[in-house]
Structure 1
């Protein structure tokens, strides 16, 4: 299964599926799919891949799959998944995808071979430097991919990435910097945007001073000017701003909670005056990448906070440190980009102590809140789930919500004029490069 740009699940390795009860799902696999090593994919491989993804010692997705009780191959092309209890986000988790299918026994025999079923095979991989892919001649979807191969390099510097495109050193770049948008447009490069559900947020560790004080968090919520930050990061091309509820208003679970429509410096001052730090404080703020638009967003907060006597020391963080510190919650304050496509991603995945991404909200642990979002995972009725999320979010903000949601932004891809038929999925990935071709 895979998500399209509207977050809908679509057939892929599974041709179809059905829920036979609140806790049982049946997946019917596509026949004749070959792995990159020429072996046919069967239900045995899917069961193995599920079990691998559920192993907490080796999988980043184990938390998403913790409600799974068992996975069984009922025949060569049918898989039955049984849950421990009703788990309403289950199909969204599979479509993410949380389970990447590989041949049974791969991890034990060839852990670094990266054998899958995708449209491109791995030719060479140098972490943090480059990835070389070649066309999979045996791909199950007839006629694609069109490209013979893909060569990917990693450039964290925003200006360097844009310069590589404008000089035709590359055909395609991800994350076009806001400052380069206009110039690339004038040079007639294609700039692709698509809503991916990716959003930016400031996150604070409530287990450390001064963010263990709810009034400090409320002061900062009212201080932030989301429009100015959007203008810097995306040249004004944000999809929506957050006024309280991080879900889109179109979501059937949207709570309607709106606390922070506009920055309010006076209200920010009032909350800080009520806190244990009325004269302000000094603290480090981590962000990812030195030469990036993220640094400019952090600077905007730094300037605004100075008016309250708050000093943020901005620390540009490389990838190794980011993974070691921020992903594990070992920070005091940070700026983070993240995607979330379902309410469970946010309300449980990030905010619950057992959530797979709780490192982004370290030490946030409120029993009343936890009980509500746990119940919401088990509920399938949309109205009931929305009521539970509304109550949980209200409790969370009153206790001191450690995330300041800023805005969602388009997936900003830049490409040479002869790159044709690029598409984006709901995660901002390059899954659909199999449909890209070059008009040259």
Structure 2
């Protein structure tokens, strides 16, 4: 008996037309159907799409375990196929997996592999390829960022046309896990994939790649989705500087940009050939503290810094209202188990002084690393944070870091830094990636026994009420004992040339239509 079964389906449900972009992935995935919006124009084939992306560096490569920014994530979905796709409305859609089902305790999952999905280099996807692709991220020697959320797999095997995955404990969210951008299905040989290969089974095939500069791709003529991949070719350009990105769009050198500098939205609005596209989801901006390093190893210091930031000011001046206030944990109001009753951490210099006193300090001086590569306005946000903290006797010295190499040389290297997170569709996923003990992307290096105990229990708990209680406690633990300041959740704000068309429903789980604008959009 299966408890969950999803045949392939495509949906045209419109979130934006109902809630003006306020409903995000988690709510859409679980809250039931929305009304269908007006039909979009029929897509047509042709043209070369040029996308200016506010990320990318020269250290990037084809190994899926290393991908850590928007550029490589969009590049990945342009050339690869995945077991499961998160549709624009937040539902799960079969991709390489035609369908899937679980045992009653959700410990065993069986994925039926679609027949005839072709690689760019020839040959078709096999169940053995799926096994090898997942196993690339498993094992003691794995350094993959996906290791924490595939580590619960105790066995994975090909069985005829299916792949059977056995977990150490039940996980009703497991199909979301295998949709992660780190887990593309790649061609295998002798049980292993080639992490240096550009080969994929996705909509576009690579013709040129200069890490940190440009990726060029052409349409895969044998792509199995006949209603996708409308462009003849695609160019993905790294343009980290926001002014350069804006200029590239206004002068017609690119067709789409992400991370619009919100200070200049009005300039785009005055341009007759440019449209602003905004979606609200789980993306959030943080200031991460290394909890192993003094003074951040004292929770009183961490609490002082949480009360020293004026969140409303950051929302107004950095996001220009394109977002919402955060509460020092990564779960957004759109998530299924968001704890809306938790007390909001407020800007309170007196309370910050109290926590400093508890730490045995009269004042505090720290450096905060930031760059536009972290998120648009990150340096300005650090300056505003510094200003608001002065009233608490805290001196924050903003350090402007180079954009190039920020994610390899600053993030998780410097003890206090600005960070953006795209969020994840489930609480377990977000916590497992960035807060679990030993997770490669645990950027605060936080270790909390009770939190990790709850993480395991909640993952396999089938009682919804009990699960909600556990996730509430976990959110509160991160809020009151964690090493991260989460001042705001940010909308994804993009700008498009008027000739670029997209479906009425645009994914909000990630920027650029859930990273899939390349295969979902077209030219008028």
Structure 1 SS opposite 2:135: helix
- CA spacing shift, 1:430–1:99, aligned 2, 3 Å: closer
Indicate which of 461, 464, 479 corresponds to 1:382. Answer: 464
2:500 maps to 1:419: yes
2:113 maps to 1:33: no
1:159 — aligned with what?
243
> 1:282: Cα distance to partner?
1.9
Q: CA RMSD in A?
A: 2.4
Matches within 5 A, 1:39-438: 39-55=123-139, 56-57=141-142, 59-75=144-160, 77-105=161-189, 111-188=195-272, 189-238=274-323, 240-243=324-327, 246-260=330-344, 262-278=346-362, 280-289=363-372, 292-318=376-402, 321-327=405-411, 329-341=412-424, 342-358=426-442, 360-362=443-445, 364-398=446-480, 400-421=481-502, 423-424=506-507, 426-428=509-511, 429-438=514-523
- CA spacing shift, 1:3–1:128, aligned 2, 3 Å: same
Gaps of 5+ in 1: none
Distance 1:58 1:274 in 2: 39
TM-score normalised according to structure 1 size: 0.91
Distance 2:157 2:97 in 1: 15
C-alpha distance after superposition, 1:33-72 (max 9, x if no partner): 1111121112121112111232553532122100011111
Confirm or deny: 8 A CA contact 1:213 1:275 kept in the other structure. yes
Indicate which of 51, 61, 85 corresponds to 1:2. Answer: 85
Confirm or deny: 8 A CA contact 2:132 2:192 kept in the other structure. no
Confirm or deny: 8 A CA contact 2:378 2:418 kept in the other structure. yes
Distance 2:523 2:216 in 1: 18
1:24 — aligned with what?
108
2:60 — aligned with what?
none
Distance 2:129 2:478 in 1: 42
Q: Which moved more, 1:97-106 or 1:147-156?
A: 97-106
Higher relative contact order (CA 8 A, sep 6+): 2
> 1:257: Cα distance to partner?
4.5
Distance 2:87 2:205 in 1: 22
Confirm or deny: 8 A CA contact 1:347 1:389 kept in the other structure. no
Confirm or deny: 8 A CA contact 1:282 1:313 kept in the other structure. yes
Confirm or deny: 8 A CA contact 1:5 1:195 kept in the other structure. no
Distance 1:391 1:409 in 2: 24
C-alpha distance after superposition, 1:176-226 (max 9, x if no partner): 111111110111311111123110011111212222222222222222222
Confirm or deny: 8 A CA contact 1:171 1:419 kept in the other structure. yes
- CA spacing shift, 1:301–1:107, aligned 2, 3 Å: farther
Q: Which moved more, 1:125-134 or 1:140-149?
A: 140-149
Gaps of 5+ in 2: 1-83
Distance 1:383 1:72 in 2: 34
> 1:410: Cα distance to partner?
1.8
